[in-house]
Amino acid sequence: MLAIARTELIQIFRNRLVLVTSFIIPVAISVFFIYRHEVFAELATLGYIAAIVMFTVGAFGLYTSTVTTLASRRQNLFLKRLRSTAAGDAGILAGLVAPATIIALVQLTGILIAFGVVAGGPDNVFLLALAVLATVAMMIGLALATAGVTNSPEHAQVTTLPVSLGVIGVASWVGITGTENLELLKRLLPGGAATELMLNAWNGGVALTDSLLLLAPTLAWVVIAVSFARRMFRWEPRR
């Protein structure tokens, strides 16, 4: 797995398009939100900005990069060749996904620390870490599921849009309007519960046990996405 991850990391830094679209753009958007945090805080709360940053990196960085990578490696038969080695299926996928995951976590850590310094830190760092890790797990699961129906890197530009825009849209909806109305629907949508968890982590004012319950919908999406990926993922190009 480590050898695969090392090779994939090298490929990421050699591909300028992937670097720009999956890593530089999310950071640039996040910096904009931090720079204009006072304006957006008037619209909602600081927790909302933190949630948008989290999903911007998660959707346009980790999720899109992972789908594109898996589609590309399938198309050039790299996945097929890897299956002829001693590495198992789980190890292959973990090796391919690990670099983008680590980069996303480093990005989120740095950006959220900077945001905390500029605007004031979170109320509960433990809940913040849980929100980030649960969201990263969900985006990886959704990426594996999307890769199952993505035929090529070019096709990934289309197949990733619904989820990328959808989770950010849900995060904005929950972050701006709260969960006083349509609470169950907002929590069940992908990204809704994770956004509320981030709001609680940053803004405070909610009991820890109530916040921990918000992990359930997010982790449920991980299970659903992985189950879908197990049925739909292909190791060779579709004919």
Condensed to tens digits (0 to 9), the pLDDT of residues 93-133 reads 999 999 889 989 988 998 898 888 888 889 999 999 999 99
Q: Which of 118, 98, 96, 146 is nearest to 50 (CA)?
A: 118
Distance CA 64, CA 47 (A): 24
pLDDT reported for residue 30: 75
pLDDT at 149 over 70: yes
pLDDT reported for residue 42: 65
Distance CA 159, CA 68 (A): 10
Percent of the chain with pLDDT over 90: 43
Q: Which of 94, 12, 14 is nearest to 61 (CA)?
A: 12
Q: Which of 115, 137, 104 is nearest to 201 (CA)?
A: 115
pLDDT reported for residue 46: 85
More confident call, 28 vs 228: 228
pTM above 0.85, yes or no: yes
Split into its structural domains, the chain has a count of 1
What's the mean pLDDT in 213-222?
95
Residue 237 inside a domain? The answer is no
Distance CA 21, CA 2 (A): 25
Residue 177 inside a domain? The answer is yes
Distance CA 71, CA 107 (A): 24
Residue 60 inside a domain? The answer is yes
pLDDT at 40 over 70: no
Residue 154 inside a domain? The answer is yes
Which range marks the domain in which residue 78 is found? 2-232
pLDDT reported for residue 124: 92
Answer left, alpha or beta for residue 186, where phi above 0 means left and psi between -120 and 50 means alpha. alpha
pLDDT reported for residue 16: 67
Residue 59 inside a domain? The answer is yes
Condensed to tens digits (0 to 9), the pLDDT of residues 155-213 reads 888 999 999 999 999 999 998 888 888 999 999 999 999 999 999 999 887 888 888 99
Most confident of 202-206, 219-223, 232-236: 219-223
Distance CA 93, CA 196 (A): 30
pLDDT reported for residue 147: 93
Q: Is 17 exposed, middle or buried (0-12, 13-18, 19+ CB in 10 A)?
A: exposed
Q: For residue 65, how many other CB atoms are within 10 A of its CB?
A: 27
pLDDT reported for residue 187: 94
pLDDT at 49 over 90: no
Residue 197 inside a domain? The answer is yes
- Among all chains, which residue has been given the structure tokens 């939100």? 33
Residue 196 inside a domain? The answer is yes
Condensed to tens digits (0 to 9), the pLDDT of residues 9-36 reads 777 767 666 666 667 777 777 777 776 6
Distance CA 8, CA 100 (A): 9
pLDDT reported for residue 41: 65
Handedness of CA 156, 191, 118, 104 (dihedral sign): negative
Residue 238 inside a domain? The answer is no
